[in-house]
Chain A
Amino acid sequence: MLDPTFASALAAIVPPPALLTAPEDTRPYECDGLTLYREQPAAVVLPDDETQVVAILKLCHAARVPIVARGAGTSLSGGSLPVAEGIVLSLAKFRRIVAIDPSARTAIVEPGVRNLAISEAAAPYGLFYAPDPSSQIACSIGGNVAENAGGVHCLKYGLTVHNVRKVRAVLVTGDIVEFGADALDAPGYDLLALITGSEGLLGVITQITVKLLPKPALAQVALAAFDDVEKAGAAVGNVIAAGIVPGGLEMMDREATRAVEQFVHAGYPLDAAAVLLVEADGTPEEVAAEMAEIRDVLTRSGATEIRVSADEAQRLLYWSGRKAAFPAVGRISPDYYCIDGTIPRAALPGVLRQIATWSREYGLPCANVFHAGDGNLHPLILFDANKPGDRERTVEFGDRILELCIEVGGTITGEHGVGVEKLSGMCTQFAPEALERFLGITRAFDAHGLLNPGKGVPTLARCAEFGRMHVHRGELPHPELPRF
Chain B
Amino acid sequence: MNTTDSTLRQGLSEVTERLVRDYGERAVTSRAVREQHSHGEGLADAGMPDIVVFPQTNDEVASIVGLCNAARIPVIAFGVGTSLEGHVAALYGGVCVDLSRMDRVLEVNDADLDCRVQAGVTLEALNAELKGTGLFFPIDPGANATIGGMASTRASGTNAVRYGTMRENVLGLTVVTADGRIVHTGGRARKSSAGYDLTRLFVGAEGTLGIITEVQLRLYGLPEAISAAVCQFADLAGAVDTVIVAMQLGIPVARIELLDEVQMDACIRYSQLEFEPKPTLFFEFHGTDAGVREQAEMIESIAAEHGGSRFQWASAQEERSKLWKARHNAYYAVLALAPGRHAFATDACVPISRLTECVLETQADIVETGLIAPIVGHVGDGNFHLVVLFDPAKPEERAKAEGLAARVSARAIRMGGTCTGEHGIGVHKLEALVAEHGDAVSLMQAIKRALDPNDILNPGKTVPK
Interface residues of A (CB under 8 A from B): 101-106, 147-148, 150, 154-155, 158-159, 161-162, 171, 175-179, 181-191, 193-194, 196-198, 213-214, 237, 240-243, 282-283, 285-286, 288-290, 340, 342-346, 374-376, 405, 409-418, 422, 425-426, 429-431, 433-435, 437-438, 440-441, 443-445, 456-457
Contacts and interface: CB of A to CB of B under 8 A. Distances in A.
Interface in B194-209: 194-198, 200-201, 203-205, 209
Contacts of B122: none
Interface in B151-205: 154, 156, 160, 164-165, 167-168, 177, 181-185, 187-198, 200-201, 203-205
11 contacts: A181-B436, A187-B420, A344-B114, A344-B189, A405-B189, A410-B187, A416-B193, A430-B195, A434-B195, A437-B198, A441-B447
Nearest to A285: B290
Given A184-B160, A414-B190, 11 more contacts: A185-B349, A187-B425, A188-B437, A197-B197, A213-B250, A285-B291, A342-B189, A345-B190, A412-B194, A414-B192, A457-B195
Given A184-B349, A189-B463, A415 B447 contact: no
Interface of B: 109-114, 134, 154, 156, 160, 164-165, 167-168, 177, 181-185, 187-198, 200-201, 203-205, 209, 220-224, 244, 247-250, 287-291, 294, 349-353, 381-383, 412, 416-422, 424-425, 429, 432-433, 436-441, 443-444, 446-447, 449-451, 462-463
Contact of A433 (B109, B113, B164, B183): B183
A431 B433 CA distance: 33
A375 B111 CA distance: 12
Contacts of B203: 190
A437 B420 contact: no
B112 A345 contact: yes
A190 B196 CA distance: 12
Contacts of B288: 286, 289-290
A193 B436 CA distance: 18
B382 A183 contact: yes
B145 to A, nearest CB: 17
A161 B195 contact: no
A194 B202 CA distance: 10
A237 B111 contact: yes
Given A101-B353, A178-B439, A438 B195 contact: yes
Contacts of B416: 181-183
A182 B425 CA distance: 18
A99 to B, nearest CB: 13
Contacts of A344: 109, 112, 114, 188-189
Contacts of B109: 344, 346
B443 A191 contact: yes
A240 B352 CA distance: 31
A185 B168 CA distance: 12
Contacts of B289: 289
Contact of A415 (B113, B193, B382, B441): B193
B188 A437 contact: no
Given A197-B197, A344-B188, A433-B177, A188 B440 contact: yes
Nearest to B156: A185
Contacts of A422: 194
Interface centre among B191, B200, B351, B418 (most CB of A within 10 A): B191
B382 A184 contact: yes
Contacts of B160: 184
Given A185-B349, A187-B425, A196-B197, A342 B190 contact: yes
A184 B383 contact: yes
Nearest to A415: B193
